[in-house]
């Protein structure tokens, strides 16, 4: 695949392709190589000038490309069983074997996350090579104006480079997050055009914003990070939480944002893994300094803010059991109401999307329209933070590519 040396418009229009894939992102590249290896003539269309923009910037430029622990419970989907088949047929081990064959240097970080050791573009190069070997062709910088079904004979796409025809059409156009990387609602429009239901979308893996006095307090602490356990709707994540000028961010908050709904509170345990009540009783008995004790866990600026909010004496010798219980509760169940999420521009992913009840979990073909397929993030499948979203892109793409 050479973006610079793209074939001419006439070439794209001259044949009826076995498969056209819309979207040269993670899922589109993987699916095209899989189908190409099976002898299919595959054309990938993308309106962006370069393939795989999200892979390039992901993981701070090092792409957290999979997670060794990826399992169905790491995904949010209205139809939770849907993800099982593809993930079991293409587990993270398979993708690791692929990058190993290409000699990619990568490293394992906490919680099973795998990152490129050097640059995310090393991974893009691997996918490009796979596509080249599978003789996949690309029409980049190509806008799709219309998709017309040809009654049992596939589809005709009206594009900025003329009409293109295919027997099978795969929508791998991703979702709404990061519009500046050419994200669009194309996939949802096509789904609706062909009678498929689209589950309402909202930003996921996104910072949570606050208003009023909380906004001011958090803004004053911007840049500080704490290790916490955050809970909402019976889900909990223990990771770092970051104060920002808009509210809260960091891995713990991004994770819980997948479950948070407008109007919900989030509960924060500021001293996770600690039996705080027993510790407070020990502080009282030893007559040691409670404020100093807090400073052994938190940056001083946060302790100060906390004690302004919830004043407590430095010595707890006069505090009764009930007062200590209240103190422990405040520290371990800090209840906050975010005002809104940070929006699609700050969201790593989009929750909701094409209803998986309308899609075969084996082939990813639409149950309503033969020869039309949906893969990757356009579907109502969203992974947690940690390489799970790319793993879904690879797994859904391979399942589909093998069925085309
Ligand atoms: P993807 O968005 O990758 O590709 C869609 C393609 O379709 C794009 O090339 C786009 O240009 C094209 N397209 C869209 N509309 C079109 C139209 N109308 N016509 C033609 N083409 C069109 N995940 C993870 O597992 N680990 C990580 O480290 C990160 N990090 C990360 C950072 C940031 C900042 C973001 C925004 C996202 C992540 N993610 C992530 C999520 C991950 O990037 C995402 O889930 C996958 O890229 C989804 O792959 P898809 O191929 O489905 O869509």
DSSP for 111-168 reads: GGEEEESS-HHHHHHHHHHHHHHTT-EEE-S--EEEEEE-TTS-EEEEETTEEEEEEE
| Nearest atom (ligand 1) to Cα of 115 | 28
Which atom of ligand 1 lies at the shortest distance from residue 174's CA? 53
The pLDDT tens digits of the residues spanning 303-360 come to: 999 999 999 999 999 999 999 999 999 999 999 999 999 999 999 999 999 999 999 9
- CB burial class (10 A; 0-12, 13-18, 19+) of residue 280? buried
Residue 307 CA to ligand 1 centre (angstroms) = 43
Residue of minimum CA distance from atom 13 in ligand 1: 173
% helix, strand, coil for the chain, step of 5: 35, 25, 35
- What is the pLDDT of the chain when averaged over all its residues? 96
The ligand 1 site (C-beta within 6 Å) comprises 22-28, 45-48, 53-54, 57-59, 63-64, 144, 172-174, 177-178, 182-184, 186, 348-349, 376-377, 387-390, 393
Q: Which atom of ligand 1 is nearest to the CA of 397?
A: 51
144 SS3 class: strand
Integer CA distances (angstroms), 171 to 27, 61, 125, in order: 9, 26, 22
Supply the CATH classification number for the domain 208-341: 2.40.30.10
Domain chopping of the chain, boundaries:
9-202+349-403, 208-341
Q: Are the C-beta atoms of residues 363 and 399 closer than 8 Å to each other?
A: yes
d(CA 315, CA 317) in angstroms, rounded, equals 6
- Bridge partners (DSSP) listed for residue 225: 242
Residue pointed to by tokens 């500021």: 270
Residue 2 predicted with pLDDT over 80: no
Q: Which atom of ligand 1 is nearest to the CA of 182?
A: 11
pLDDT tens-place string over residues 72-116: 999 999 999 999 999 999 999 999 999 999 999 999 999 999 999
According to CATH, the topology of domain 9-202+349-403 is FAD/NAD(P)-binding domain (3.50.50)
- CA nearest ligand 1 atom 18, residue: 186
Q: How many angstroms is it from 27 CA to the middle of ligand 1?
A: 8
Atom 23 in ligand 1: which residue has the minimum CA distance?
A: 389
Pairwise CA distance, residues 58 & 55, whole Å: 5
With CA atoms as reference, report the closest residue to 377 among 142, 181, 97, 102: 181
> Whose CA is closest to 2, among 36, 51, 46?
51
Structure tokens at 115: 């990152």
Cα(60) to centroid(ligand 1), Å: 15
CA 238 vs. chain centroid, Å, equals 18
Convert the pLDDT of each residue in 199-237 to its tens digit: 999 999 999 999 999 999 999 999 999 999 999 999 999
Distance 69 CA to ligand 1 centre (A): 21
CA-closest residue to ligand 1 atom 39 = 348
- Ligand 1 mean position, distance from CA 389 (Å): 9
pTM for the whole thing? 0.96
Distance from Cα 393 to the centre of ligand 1, integer Å:
9
Dihedral sign for Cα atoms in the order 45, 47, 51, 56: negative
Q: What is the ipTM of this complex?
A: 0.99
Q: Which atom of ligand 1 is nearest to the CA of 388?
A: 25
Closest atom of ligand 1 to CA, residue 55:
43
pLDDT bucket at 4, cuts 50 / 70 / 90: very low
Going from the Cα of 18 to the center of ligand 1, the distance in angstroms, rounded, reads 24
pLDDT at 11: 84
How far is 33 from 95, CA to CA, in rounded Å? 13
Cα–Cα distance, 252 to 129 (Å, whole number): 36
For residue 402, the tally of other CB atoms under 10 A from its CB is 16
pLDDT level of residue 8 (50, 70, 90 thresholds): confident
Nearest to 194 by CA among 77, 355, 397: 355
Range 368-379 average pLDDT: 97
CB 54 within 8 A of CB 178: yes
Tell me, what's the pLDDT at 5?
A: 57
């Amino acid at each position: 695949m050479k973006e610079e040396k793209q074939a001419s418009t006439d070439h794209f229009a001259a044949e009826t392709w076995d498969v056209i894939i819309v979207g040269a992102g993670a899922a589109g590249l993987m699916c095209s190589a899989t189908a190409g290896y099976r002898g299919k003539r595959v054309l990938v269309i993308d309106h962006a000038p370069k393939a795989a923009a999200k892979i390039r910037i992901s993981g701070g430029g090092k792409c957290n490309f999979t997670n060794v622990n990826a399992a169905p419970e790491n995904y949010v989907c209205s139809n939770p069983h849907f993800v099982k088949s593809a993930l079991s047929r293409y587990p993270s081990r398979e993708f690791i074997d692929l990058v190993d064959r290409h000699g990619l240097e990568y490293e394992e970080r906490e919680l099973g996350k795998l990152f490129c050791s050097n640059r995310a573009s090393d991974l893009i190069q691997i996918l490009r090579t796979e596509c080249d070997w599978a003789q996949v062709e690309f029409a980049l910088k190509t806008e799709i104006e219309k998709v017309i079904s040809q009654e049992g004979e596939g589809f005709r796409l009206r594009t900025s480079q003329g009409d293109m025809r295919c027997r099978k059409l795969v929508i791998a156009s991703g979702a709404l997050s990061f519009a500046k990387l050419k994200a669009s609602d194309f996939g949802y429009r096509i789904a609706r055009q062909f009678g498929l239901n689209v589950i309402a979308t909202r930003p996921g893996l996104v910072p949570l914003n606050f208003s009023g006095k909380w906004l001011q307090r958090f803004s004053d602490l911007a840049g500080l990070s704490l290790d916490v356990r955050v809970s909402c709707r019976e889900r909990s994540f223990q990771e770092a939480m970051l104060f920002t000028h808009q509210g809260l961010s960091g891995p713990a908050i991004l994770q819980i944002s997948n479950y948070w709904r407008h109007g919900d509170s989030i509960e924060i345990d500021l001293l996770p893994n600690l039996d705080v009540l027993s510790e407070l009783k020990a502080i009282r008995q030893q007559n040691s300094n409670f404020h100093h004790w807090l400073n052994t866990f938190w940056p001083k600026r946060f302790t100060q803010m906390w004690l302004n909010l919830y004043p407590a004496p430095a010595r707890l010798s006069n505090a009764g059991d009930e007062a200590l219980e209240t103190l422990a509760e405040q520290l371990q169940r800090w209840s906050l109401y975010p005002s809104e999420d940070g929006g699609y521009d700050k969201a790593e992913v989009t929750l909701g999307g094409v209803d998986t009840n309308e899609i075969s979990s084996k082939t990813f073909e639409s149950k309503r329209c033969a020869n039309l397929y949906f893969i990757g993030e356009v579907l109502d499948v969203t992974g947690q933070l940690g390489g799970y979203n790319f793993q879904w892109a690879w797994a859904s793409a391979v399942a589909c590519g093998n069925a085309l």
